[in-house]
């Protein structure tokens, strides 16, 4: 059997928009992905639907898979002829043990590529408003491991060289050893007044910072119960933060949003919320399988109602594959949502909303297998695809919830409420417990009615059912600090 190929990919520091183009291409073509805890799980949604996902995440003093097992898995999957991605947080060459993994692959003569990523030690400070070098403050920069393989885990370093010879130092995952770090830097020549900042979950919307000096930061960390994953930055360049801090000033920074999802396609609403500084967890994750359709009578219908943007694409793909001239279809087109209408508009068709369907005679409803005729009992149904819950993402969703501190729930449509609650039950998650204490926002009055009917409370609706209005509503009316 032909050997596969392995891509050792840096996922970047957390914000999924910071992954490299090459790294994203590798994910999109992967047959197997072995991913770490600090690689943003949202990146896995770019993988093919049949891609095998293997969690290799590590927590302090607890390993899901030890490094030797990971090396063996990479070799095993590649020898099966698979295209494998090893997805690692930050840059794989910066404390990512990529050298060990590459050596194992080379031993078996398995082809591989190493795809660099943006390192957390540079990105997290920048998202906190701190460049690690500056002509007036810092002409040198070092990245340093804050623990090693010794029994006590205390790093054996050239402390004098660091203290006297490096202007800015980034310590990785060193909260537990912070007193030891500060003591050694002071002992070997760093002034006790040297600024220190801890950046937790850097580049995520949940990013938090804690600032102090070598003399007092350890005590502050205990008081604030600050923990990993954090970058510890030491140096005078931290003073620039007051002038150029930008990320934490974004309108939705601190918002950790659970967004009900009805489509398997990328969400424009989720993108807008992320662009405005929020963390967004979308649920549930759907997968869609196209089905063969019978187009024998398609030219006989006077009206065609598309229930989703996906149904538009599936319908016209089937029309082309069956060699039907679109000009022979003379029906008026309708969309069940703004997105559906937009999908038709993008194909050059003027479409009306389903609410304008006054005479449902000779009506065809096109969509996935969840179609319900409802008030159109006489309509014909064309099922173009099967949509089902992607069970592979349920444990991943639970891990995302464990890592986050969700404070907001958004239902974008009335159709999103019931599938969301059903999917939670499929994952053995209690909706009442999960949503307890969250600000539940409904996009529109119909959505609000569906939320209330489901027995959930809601804080209200934006002025309009648009992503821009939602951002304004969350930022201005209900800031996170009031949660």
Q: Which residues are catalytic?
A: 36, 58, 173
Check if the beta carbon of residue 372 is closer than 8 Å to that of residue 307: no
- Count of other CB atoms within 10 angstroms of residue 292: 10
Identify whether 406 is preceded by a cis peptide bond (ω within 30 of 0): no
HSE, CB side, 13 Å, CA atoms: give it for residue 481: 3
SS3 at position 268: helix
Query: DSSP code of 64?
Result: S
The H-or-E segment that residue 179 falls in is helix 178-187
Strand-pair category, 58-59 with 62-63: antiparallel
Phi/psi at 445 (5° precision): -70, -35
Token pair, residue 448, equals 């609000």
d(CA 25, CA 51): 14
The CA distance from 187 to 159, in Å, is 9
Q: Are 398 and 429 in contact (CB under 8 A)?
A: yes
At 463, list the tokens. Answer: 């002025």
CB atoms under 10 Å from CB of 343, counted, come to: 22
Q: Which residue in this structure is represented by tokens 């963390």?
A: 279
Between helix 417-426 and helix 445-453 the angle, nearest 10°, is 40
> 201: which strand partners?
none
* Phi, psi angle pair for 236, to nearest 5°: -65, -20
Query: 168 near 133, Cβ under 8 Å?
Result: yes
Residue 43 to residue 30: CA distance in whole angstroms = 12
Place of tokens 């408003």: 129
User: Distance (Å, rounded) from C-alpha 156 to C-alpha 146?
Assistant: 9
- Neighbour count for residue 449 (Cβ, 10 Å): 14
Report d(CA 86, CA 96) in Å as an integer.
11
Length of the chain: 483
């Amino acid at each position: 059997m032909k050997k596969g190929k392995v891509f050792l990919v840096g996922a970047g520091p957390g914000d999924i928009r910071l992954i490299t183009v090459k790294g994203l291409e590798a994910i999109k073509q992967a047959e197997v992905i072995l991913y770490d805890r600090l690689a943003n799980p949202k990146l896995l949604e770019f993988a093919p639907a049949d891609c095998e996902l293997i969690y290799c995440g590590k927590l302090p003093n607890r390993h899901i898979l030890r490094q030797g097992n990971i090396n063996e898995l990479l070799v095993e999957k590649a020898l099966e002829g698979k295209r494998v991605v090893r997805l690692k947080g930050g840059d794989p060459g910066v404390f990512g043990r990529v050298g060990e993994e590459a050596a194992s692959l080379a031993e078996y003569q398995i082809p591989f590529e190493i795809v660099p990523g943006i390192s957390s030690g540079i990105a997290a400070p920048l998202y906190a408003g701190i460049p690690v070098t500056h002509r007036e403050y810092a002409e040198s920069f070092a990245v340093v491991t804050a623990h090693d393989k010794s029994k006590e885990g205390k790093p054996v370093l050239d402390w004098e060289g660091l203290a006297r010879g490096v202007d800015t130092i980034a310590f990785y995952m060193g909260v537990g050893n912070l007193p030891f770090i500060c003591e050694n830097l002071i002992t070997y020549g760093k002034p006790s007044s040297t600024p220190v900042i801890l950046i937790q979950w850097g580049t995520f919307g949940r990013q938090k910072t804690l600032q102090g000096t070598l003399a007092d930061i350890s005590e502050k960390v205990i008081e604030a119960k600050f923990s990993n994953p954090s970058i510890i930055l030491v140096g005078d360049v931290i003073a620039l933060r007051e002038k150029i801090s930008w990320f934490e000033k974004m309108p939705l920074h601190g918002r950790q949003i659970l967004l009900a999802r009805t489509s398997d396609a990328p969400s424009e609403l989720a993108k807008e919320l992320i662009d405005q500084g929020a963390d967004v967890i979308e649920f549930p994750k759907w997968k869609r399988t196209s089905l063969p359709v019978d187009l024998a009578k398609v030219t006989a219908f006077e009206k065609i109602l598309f229930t989703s943007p996906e149904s538009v694409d599936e319908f016209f793909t089937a029309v082309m594959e069956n060699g039907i001239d679109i000009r022979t279809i003379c029906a008026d087109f309708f969309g069940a949502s703004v997105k559906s209408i937009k999908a038709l508009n993008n194909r050059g068709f003027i479409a009306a909303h389903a609410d304008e369907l006054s005479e449902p005679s000779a009506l065809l409803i096109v969509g996935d297998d969840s179609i319900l005729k409802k008030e159109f009992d006489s309509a014909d149904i064309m099922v173009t695809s099967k949509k089902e819950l992607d069970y592979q993402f349920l444990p991943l969703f639970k891990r995302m919830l464990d890592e986050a501190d969700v404070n907001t729930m958004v239902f974008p449509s009335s159709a999103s409420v019931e599938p969301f609650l059903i999917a939670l039950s499929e994952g053995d998650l209690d909706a009442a417990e999960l949503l307890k204490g969250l600000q539940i926002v409904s996009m529109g009055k119909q959505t609000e009615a569906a939320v209330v009917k489901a027995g959930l409370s809601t804080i209200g609706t934006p002025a309009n059912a648009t992503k821009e209005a939602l951002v304004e509503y969350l930022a201005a009316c209900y800031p996170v600090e009031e949660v």
